[in-house]
């Protein structure tokens, strides 16, 4: 029997988090799901730990033994996008929960999301209120749950800067209303399979005439900003994303919003900057681009000046990589825009 929800967790040296994550998954009140752990060549004991702890026999002692868990180990780090695409292709479930290993879900988290997405067939993705998770004493494997907001959905500004709604704010109930949002953070998002199929982009061919539609998250991104990209494509096709405040979970993210930007590794800054440029290139109507050109220009200027004075190699490498992939992204853009259902005027309502 095919479960209603397929939970996908991509791991990379995630042993410190995976126990808390999977324990919270198996303790969900909604139990019609299966779990797939896709490991990207971890150098720690993530895979062996998962296999040893989450066998059917062990799960039967504490959790619901009817929930199956599968493990796929990639021979190299294929990145967030490719690994999750693997899982989507392997599964047949109506809904897919994409989540990071550094998440802890409240017991009714999945139930709240499933109830919401089942009520409206126009909803492509739903996400909950993610609060910050802090690390405590490593010897005690301590995880400290806070009331600081991590994300309540994705928002895109007129500058095309993508931010998490409420990030860094103290949760005082200001985001307790269920609302439509631009998109849901890839840290933990429930997607409708039909919607993912609808926005998949051709990436290759068996013959020149026979395209294979199997790229859901953009595999050229490797990691970072792929959630904004797929959210944009879903909006262009007329799908909705909804934030569900009753679904609460905790997510580890190092540093406060401002501190985080000054402490990110060169790899993260490189991928984030390049992928941001590709996301805008692929999904923005030219008319909207020129309407908001002044905002886009100044945001890009500030970003490039920051990188020039702090990480010039990142600026050079990201710019070179962007232009190397420019033609490929234009081909993807052509396909995306050809199939868009929502016009430029309607899309402008999201850019504030």
> Is position 261 within any domain?
no
Residue 337: inside a domain: no
Whether 313 is in a domain gets the answer: no
Domain for residue 343, yes or no? no
Upper half-sphere CA count for residue 112 (Cβ side, 13 Å) = 19
Instruction: Please tell me the total number of residues recorded for the chain in this structure.
Output: 352
pTM of the model: 0.93
Domain ranges, residue 52: 5-255
Mean pLDDT of each 10-residue bin along the chain, 352 residues long = 95 94 96 95 94 67 70 94 93 96 97 98 98 87 93 98 97 96 98 97 60 79 96 98 98 62 76 97 98 97 95 96 96 96 97 95
Considering the domain boundaries, does residue 289 fall inside one? Answer: no
Q: Is residue 330 one of the residues assigned to a domain?
A: no
Q: How far apart are CA 161 and CA 352, in angstroms?
A: 10
**Looking at the 3D structure of the chain, how many domains does it have?**
1
Q: DSSP H helical segments within the chain, as ranges?
A: 15-26, 46-53, 56-62, 79-90, 109-119, 193-199, 226-236, 257-263, 266-283, 286-291, 293-310, 312-324, 326-338, 344-347
Question: How much is the pLDDT for 36?
Answer: 95
What's residue 167's pLDDT?
97
Q: List the CATH number of the domain containing 58.
A: 3.90.550.10
Domain-embedded: residue 225: yes
Asked whether residue 218 is domain-assigned, the answer is yes
pLDDT value, residue 64: 56
- What pLDDT does residue 88 have? 94
**Closest Cα partner for 101 from 40, 170, 29, 176?**
40
Rounded Cα gap, residues 228 and 266, in angstroms = 21
Burial classification of residue 293, based on how many CB atoms lie within 10 Å of its CB (0-12 exposed, 13-18 middle, 19 or more buried): exposed
Structure tokens at 348: 């402008």
Q: What pLDDT was estimated at residue 343?
A: 97
Q: What is the pLDDT of residue 57?
A: 45
């Amino acid at each position: 029997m095919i479960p209603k929800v397929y939970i996908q967790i991509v791991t990379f040296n995630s042993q410190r988090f995976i126990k808390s994550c999977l324990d919270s998954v198996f303790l969900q009140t909604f139990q019609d799901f299966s779990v797939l752990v896709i490991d990207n060549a971890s150098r720690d004991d993530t895979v062996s730990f998962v296999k040893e702890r989450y066998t059917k026999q062990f799960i039967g002692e504490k959790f619901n033994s009817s929930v199956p868990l599968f493990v796929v180990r990639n021979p190299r780090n294929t990145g967030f996008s490719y690994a999750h695409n693997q899982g989507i292709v392997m599964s047949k479930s109506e809904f897919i929960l994409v989540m990071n290993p550094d998440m802890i879900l409240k017991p009714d988290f999945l139930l709240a999301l499933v109830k919401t997405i089942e009520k409206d067939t126009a909803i492509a993705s739903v996400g909950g209120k993610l609060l910050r998770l802090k690390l405590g004493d490593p010897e005690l494997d301590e995880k400290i749950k806070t009331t600081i907001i991590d994300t309540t959905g994705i928002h895109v500004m007129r500058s095309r800067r993508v931010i998490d709604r409420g990030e860094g704010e103290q949760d005082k109930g200001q985001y307790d209303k269920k609302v439509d949002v631009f998109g849901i953070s890839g840290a933990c998002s429930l997607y409708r399979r039909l919607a993912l199929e609808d926005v998949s982009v051709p990436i290759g061919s068996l013959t020149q005439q026979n395209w294979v539609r199997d790229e859901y998250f953009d595999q050229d991104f490797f990691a970072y900003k792929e959630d904004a990209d797929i959210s944009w494509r879903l909006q262009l096709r007329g799908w909705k994303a909804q934030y569900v405040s009753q679904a609460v979970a905790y997510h580890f993210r190092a540093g406060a919003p401002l501190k985080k930007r000054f402490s990110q590794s060169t790899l993260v800054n490189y991928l984030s900057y390049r992928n941001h440029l590709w996301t805008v290139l692929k999904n923005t109507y030219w008319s909207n681009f020129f309407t908001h050109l002044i905002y886009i220009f100044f945001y890009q200027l500030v970003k490039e000046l920051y990188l020039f004075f702090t990480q010039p190699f990142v600026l050079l490498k990201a710019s070179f990589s962007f232009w190397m992939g420019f033609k490929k992204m234009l081909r993807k853009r052509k396909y995306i825009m050809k199939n868009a259902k929502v016009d430029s005027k309607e899309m402008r309502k999201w850019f504030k």
